[in-house]
Amino acid sequence: MVFTISHSTHSEDHGVIPKMRITRRVHIIRHAQSLYNMEMQRVINWFKPKFWWYGFEPGIKDPQISELGHEQVARYKDFITSIAEPDVILVSPLRRALQTATGIWGSKPMRAIPIMREIASTQGDVGNNPDGLKVDFPHVDFDNVTNEWWKGEGTPAHPKHWTRESRRSVENRIKEFKEIILNLPDEQEHIFCVGHSQFFKRLTNAPKMKNVGCLTIDIHDDHTVTVVENYSSCGDASPNASTTNSSVDSKSVKSNNSKNSAKVQPEN
């Protein structure tokens, strides 16, 4: 936990008292390439009637990571684990995130957080009930994961690109995620989260992360977010490839190689 001195308050007994702000530093990681990602990149699929019938997507529910995804995890896990020894690992209950986190840290204890799921806009964002996940990932705590956890208020039963999760639902989830982070015990200093590109993009207002991309962010108690370390992808993963600079307005961030970090205003 990081404490910084903010504006001062006045007390008759003690005069001017500096107000302390609480900031939590978090390392967020996007999952490795999934079978869904792989199929979307195959041009031939765009000429198949079934692809169009599914709504311009391959129609794979809760996809696993691809062969390339496993290679990405094996290639970049040494860099990610060199950042710090995790005190807590939070992970989306979607299988591609669970597999990525497990590939990086093995059987270390992790906690599944349903609100970290991807913004629902395709069949790939439809999950599985926890009973089966508990068998495949016994080191993950699924206590907060209920049946049909991916169906939230404002989320369609069969999400498509044109019938996606509502903006209000996403904003509420992001607000709740920030509260979870801010309320973690003080001793849990090194926080790692494995999740999804669109959710993290909305959280940080930074450009879309590549597979196994890594951002280090600060979440402040006023719900602003500052990007501290911005790795364009773990393919560029080295301290020399990151950007560490003072905060600027998030609109000035143009790419993952930006020379400035982004400070994001709280959700409405």
Minimal CA–CA distance to 196: which of 111, 105, 95?
Answer: 95
CATH number for the 24-34+61-264 domain, one of 3.40.640.10, 1.25.40.20, 3.50.50.60, 3.40.50.1240?
A: 3.40.50.1240
pLDDT digits (tens, 9 = 90+) for 50-86: 665 556 566 778 999 999 999 999 999 999 999 999 9
Averaged pLDDT for residues 112-130: 89
Evaluate whether 105 touches 17 at the Cβ level (below 8 Å): no
Given pLDDT bands bounded at 50, 70 and 90, which one contains residue 123?
A: confident
Averaged pLDDT for residues 207-216: 94
Strand partners, 29: 194, 214
The structural domains of the chain, with segments of one domain joined by +, span 24-34+61-264
- Name the H helices within the chain: 35-40, 49-53, 67-83, 95-105, 130-136, 167-182, 197-204
CA distance 261 to 218: 11
pLDDT of residue 238: 43
pLDDT digits (tens, 9 = 90+) for 15-61: 555 555 689 999 999 999 998 777 776 766 666 676 655 565 667 78
